[in-house]
Structure 1
Amino acid sequence: MNKTKIVFATNNAKKLEEVQAMLPESIEILSLKDISCLEDIPETSNTIEGNSILKADYVTENYNYACFADDTGLEVESLNGEPGVYSARYAGEPADSEKNMDKLLKNLDGIENRKAHFKTVVCLNLNGEQHLFEGICNGTILKERKGEKGFGYDPIFQPNGFSQSFAEMTMDEKAKISHRGIAVRKLIEFLNNL
């Protein structure tokens, strides 16, 4: 059986692993490294949707592959949606999860409303068409880090209805409820119906 090869425009090995585990065997995910795309793809949009489109278009136009790209932001209600589109580099360059969490916790110091949500938008370029899939996971920003798993803001994000942070959950537990899990399941459902 021929596998459909689709590039996932990311260099994040954990993200790649998380998504490949959710896909049917008929689909093979290639990373940017696999297609020798070593340049930094510009993420210059001021929206999460816009950045996922920029990344997918870059790979499709420059490497001629079907591609999907995601962009994710953590949006905190009491901070007017910050860090949002700047989540990965909230504390500046280079991107540093520990510094990002420190900055967010400092900005929330003394603030009661800690409601937040993660939003992921996946953009798929396939057979000359573009499709967007969105996933949102609502939760709360904890006052301190909990757990060792995951990446990014996972140690300080507790999804609604759970007593653990994302960083205390297994990859499978997180994928069932996470923003990326929701968006990727919509993508997979679409790919399974091709």
Structure 2
Amino acid sequence: MSDAAVAQVCSTADTMKHGIVLINNGIPARLFVRQDDAGQITELQLDERYVVIRDQIHVHERGLFLSYEREAHINRTYVPDLPFSEFFPLEKGKVWKASVDVFDNEKLVRSAVPYKFSVGEPGRLQVGDCAYDVLDVTMETESPEGEAIVTKYAYSTELGTILKGEGKHLWLSENGVMQFDELRPVRSKMFP
């Protein structure tokens, strides 16, 4: 994605239809995020230390959960026993708990995985020159080995996406924190 395709102003809910680019210059990592009618699509672009398959796509419901990923011809799907839509609208103190079945290419690979999402305090987060109202959203689940996984997110309800994560299981984190230091809206729609 060329620099010319990316605007230098703060992203809004409207720009999410065309997409935004979240940048972490320390790794470096580029995360392209856009919303479609069915959810949120992201594509991760990294430096030479990581293998990136160009057709890798993640779709997240409301930018938080129920994702599928396509990588090396594997579609991973998460199916909860309680609709994730019941977690919205997000409000302080709201909790969503479910048992989730995980499928790879429609084959069950994990069943009844416990998930809990809870909403904490509102706050304000600076991303480069832009500031956003965020909610603390804590996700609790467990690994296939039964190890507890707790991740805390700073979630922008305006953008419908996570702007910061904290937790030892976060991919590409530095000292347990993954935070972007630039956020730029894409000037025009790149995909149909």
Q: What's the TM-score, normalizing by structure 1?
A: 0.30
Name the structure where helix makes up a greater proportion of residues. Answer: 1
Q: What's the TM-score, normalizing by structure 2?
A: 0.30
Higher relative contact order (CA 8 A, sep 6+): 2
